[in-house]
Amino acid sequence: MKLKFLGFALLTLLLFFSCDDTTDKIGWEILPSKDMVATYTTDFEVMSETVMADSVYARSLTAYLGRFSDPEFGYYDASFITELTTSENYLFPEVYKYDEATKTGTGRLVSDKCENVFLRISYNKNTNNTKGFFGDSVTACRISAYELNGQWLADRKSKGRFYRYTNIDVDKYYDKEDLVGSTAYTAHDFSSTSSDNENYIDIQMDKERGDKILKLNREHPEYFKDSESFINHVTPGFYLTTDYGDGTIIYVNRVILYMGLNLYATDSLGVALKKKVTDDKGKEGSDSTYYAVQYLFSSTPEVIQANKFTYSEKLTEKINDPDNTYIKSPAGVFTALTIPYDEIYQTLGNDTLNAVKLSLTNYPDVSPYEISMETPSKVLLIRKKDLKEFFETNSLPDNITSYQVSHNATETNKYVFNNIANLVTITMREKNKAKEEAGASWNAEREAKWVDENKLLVVPVVVDTYTASGGTTTVVGTTHDLKPTYARLVGGKGTTDGKLNNPIQLEVTHTRFGSN
C-alpha cells in the first residue's frame, strides 16, 4: 500500500466533491466547520486470476458454426439449434383445375408433389464493414443437419430460457440416426456474385420431407396458423453442426427452408397458358409450366435459436498460469479480481472516497500464426454475484455496480476504469451489514463465500447502440461477445515470499479531515 499527499482544501471542496455522484463517504457524516481537508491517493494491490466461464447467456440473433483450433487455447466447436417460423395461416397453392363452364382455372400446382427441398444457411461475406466469418476462408468443412425430437418440444415449454446458455445439452434433442442432410463447404462461397454480400450453404433434403409438409398443409391447415403451431406439429426445428474441418467459424444470419414446386403459367383469369405452336400444321403445344423455388419457413427473432460451444481441455491450462490472466470469448475464460475491501476499509474508513481507478494492461498480440484472434474491443466489469441477473434481464452498465470500457489499443494497450468508487463503497457497506447481521455466526467459510461472490469479473461484451436522427447515440443493450477474441493481461496470483509477483494497482483518491 502506498499513500501520496495531494494537498489541502477548504471544507467547501468536500461539499463540491459530495455533489459528485461518483463520490461517497465511508466514515464521518458531520464535521466541525473549522476542519480542513487534505486529499491523498493510496495504492492497494489487487490479486487477479483466470476463471472458467463455463457458459454464458447468449441473447443473439447470430448463430455460430464451425471449429477453430490454435496452439494457445486448443480447439472450440460452435453449433446451434434453430426453430423455423411460418407466416400466419400459410397455404400452398392448390393443384390446378380448369372449369369448362366458366372457362376459368383455379390453383397453380401441377401436382401435390415437392420437386426439391433444402435448408439454406445464410451469412455475410467478409468486407470492410462486416464480418461474416472468422478464420481460413478456403478450409474444407462439412455441415450436417438433424431434425429436433419430442424431448426438445417438451423442454422448451417447461424449462424456461435454459436454451440461452451456451452449455445446452444438445445431444438429447436430436437423433443421430435422423440425418436430414449434409454438405461440404468453404467459408468463401465461390458461387455467389461479387455484388451479393451474402454467402450461402445449401443442405439438400429428401423430397419426401417436402411432400410431408405439403400433405400436412392440405389436411391440417391449422398447423400453419402461427409459428407455435408449426413448431409443435410440422417440424420442431433443426440442429446444425460441423463434423469435418477445422479453421473456420461462420456467423449465421438465418436459416431458411426452401421448397421447389412445378407450377402452371396462367393468364389473368387463371387459365393455363399454352406453349407455342409445335409443328407446321399449327398444332397447339401443351400447357406451360415452370419450376419455382419458394422461400417458405425461416429462423427469426420470434423463435428460438440456441448456440452451443465446447472447448478442449487445453483451455484449462490458462487457469493454472500464475503470472498472467486471460479473457477469451465466446464463453471461454474471464479474469477475476479480488479487491482488498477489508484493507481499504481499515485504512480509509474515516475518509471520503473521491475516485477509485483500476487499469488492466494487456500484452500486445505478437502471435506468429497466420490467423489469430483479435483483442476484445469492449469489456464489462461486474461482481460475480451480479453477472447472471445482469445478462438475463438485459441490463445496462450503471456505473454503480457495473462498468463498461473500450480497449485503448493505440496509446496504452489498457482497459481503464477511471472511477469505480461507487462499487467499492457499496460493496464494503454490504459486507459490514452482512457481518453485523450474522454476528458470531460469521466464520471463515462465510468469509470465503463472500469473497468469491464479490470478485470482479472482466467479461468481453458487445454494446448495442441506437443513433437518433439528431445524432445522439444511446446504449440499448449489452451482450456477451460470441465472436473469437482473447487478451493476455498483466497480473496473476503467483507469489514470491508471500507477495504477489504481478499485482494490479488500485489507485484510490480520498479526502481526509484534520484540525487547524
The number of beta carbons lying within 10 Å of the beta carbon of residue 345 is: 17
Sequential DSSP letters for 473-485: EEEEEEEE--S-E
The average pLDDT across 469-497 equals 92
- Looking at per-residue confidence, does 475 or 44 come out higher? 44
Query: Which pLDDT tens digit goes with each residue over 64-83?
Result: 999 999 888 999 999 999 99
The average pLDDT across 379-390 equals 97
Instruction: Say which amino acid occupies 297.
Output: F
pLDDT for 471 equals 82
DSSP state of 317: G
Q: What burial class does residue 44 get, using C-beta atoms within 10 Å of its C-beta: 0-12 exposed, 13-18 middle, 19+ buried?
A: buried
Question: Does the CA dihedral 281-284-285-290 come out positive or negative?
Answer: positive
- How far, in Å, CA of 380 to CA of 404, rounded? 4
Span between the terminal Cα atoms of the chain, in Å: 27
The pairing of strands 248-264 and 289-298 is antiparallel
Comparing 54-58, 62-66, 122-126, 409-413, the range with the smallest average pLDDT is 409-413
- Looking at per-residue confidence, does 6 or 446 come out higher? 446
The average pLDDT across 27-39 equals 59
Per-residue pLDDT band at 5 (split at 50, 70, 90): low
Does residue 30 carry a pLDDT above 50?
no
Nearest to 187 by CA among 290, 321, 85, 68: 68
pLDDT for 13 equals 41
DSSP state of 109: B
DSSP state of 408: B
Query: Which pLDDT tens digit goes with each residue over 206-224?
Result: 999 999 999 999 999 999 9
DSSP state of 450: H
Does residue 427 carry a pLDDT above 80?
yes
CB neighbour list of residue 422: distance below 8 Å, 6 or more residues apart = 21, 22, 24, 399, 400, 401
Does residue 33 carry a pLDDT above 70?
no
Q: Are 112 and 218 in contact (CB under 8 A)?
A: yes
Report the percent of the chain where pLDDT is more than 90.
Answer: 72
- How far, in Å, CA of 218 to CA of 215, rounded? 5
Per-residue pLDDT band at 470 (split at 50, 70, 90): confident
pLDDT for 216 equals 97
Does residue 516 carry a pLDDT above 50?
no
Does residue 193 carry a pLDDT above 50?
yes
Per-residue pLDDT band at 4 (split at 50, 70, 90): low
Per-residue pLDDT band at 10 (split at 50, 70, 90): very low
Query: Which pLDDT tens digit goes with each residue over 144-172?
Result: 999 999 999 999 999 999 999 999 999 99
